Amino acid sequence: MKTIFEIQQFLKKFGTIIYVGDRIADLELMEEEIKELYQAQLMETQDYQMAILLLRHEIQLLKRKA
């Protein structure tokens, strides 16, 4: 996974669509969903690590702008 969009598409495969209207909240919810999928062994370690890294990076960027 290389983009937030790819993470969204991955989550969609499991029936998860996240949109609450607040970008930071959306990203934090995606992170929680990714963690749950990883703990359920539904994704590879490398994909998990990259997804978490991307989400946390994006959250940091948005918090700096606010």
Q: Is the pLDDT of residue 1 over 90?
A: no
Length of the chain measured in residues: 66
Indicate the pTM of the whole model. Answer: 0.94
Print the domain residue range for 54: 4-65
CA distances from 37 to 23, 31, 42, 57, 65 (A): 21, 10, 5, 20, 30
pLDDT at 66: 77
Number of domains in the chain: 1
> In this structure, what CATH number is given to the domain that contains residue 38?
1.10.287.760
Quick: pLDDT tens for 19-62. Answer: 999 999 999 999 999 999 999 999 999 999 999 999 999 999 99
